[in-house]
Structure 1
Amino acid sequence: MKGFSRKNLLFSLCGLNCGLCTMRLGGHCGGCGNGNQSCKIARCSLEHGGMEYCCECPQYPCEKYEKIGEYDSFITARRQKADMEKLRDIGAERYNAEQGEKVQLLEYLLSSCNDGRRKTLFCLAVNLLELSDVQSVVDQLMASDLPTVKERAVYAASLFQKAADEKGFSLKLNRKK
């Protein structure tokens, strides 16, 4: 969108964790302000002085957030509001540091445990779980000493599913039917 740019390419204006997105990791998206798609939230930001995050707006959460989190597209939208609140509570610098750690863990998972069928699962799990949960899974994987990528992939998937079950959520995208 013309005139719209972002400093933080890990966390979007609207609360998506771009650093953990399959589209961005695959080189198909440059993030907010670096693509050619129009976005009603980016347009709104420009109209309100170019805020870095929607949660900085005195009108947040507005009507644009009424249905956010009900359905996912290529990345989970379930945590948008919660992540915005977390960013507001702990500050952008601390939030971004945590996201940076999650990105590193995701990179490890994709380079060491992805059998070609787990990218979306790993992105969802790292996005939805707390950093400590993701770190625990990676620690268990590293300690397992499994010899093949396929074995590590199956084990990682089972560990993430167990963690998600304990938290009470699914590691599948909520698609609109």
Structure 2
Amino acid sequence: MIIVYTPDGGEREEYDARTLKVSEASIAQRTIDQKWEEIKSGLLRDDIDAMRVIVWLLKKRTQPALRFSEVDPGVEEMRALFDRQETDNYITNAVASVMGMPDVTPEDIAHALRELPDVCADREYAEQLIAEKTTAPKAPDPGPVQATESETAGGNPTPTSSTPEPSTSDSSPTS
């Protein structure tokens, strides 16, 4: 998950929760009194404590003296978004779960996923991936029609037959 923190009047900052080390995750657990799995699932629900502790720990890497109490964003200043891997996993799993259902078209799947890019850190990537995964495959070009053995064996050569036709050229050895 990517935590997007946009302080009032400030520039957008992004923090990748996947980059936390185990020691940092342990500190996060003790700081907000939640297990790591609860923190991760809290990110999916935009839990403000989960987002805040991630932002604090990742900021602490460059500001070691930063205290948790000093990271106090407004409740609307943080948002958790899917990173590229999570976006890919979500779309791939969604498409795979309904592919092959006779009453579900690729257009239906694209329609169902239409709001997903709103919760992805890389919106364009999500839109592109949805388009790729929900485009109906084109039927392969069958190529030139070949005569079957039974057609050519019966003495009925077709235009695509592999048997030679008698030459009508004056320079032909059979003329």
TM-score, with length taken from structure 1:
0.26
Structure 1 or 2: larger strand share? Answer: 2
- Structure with the greater alpha carbon radius of gyration: 2
Structure 1 or 2: larger helix share? Answer: 1
Higher relative contact order (CA 8 A, sep 6+): 1
TM-score, with length taken from structure 2:
0.27
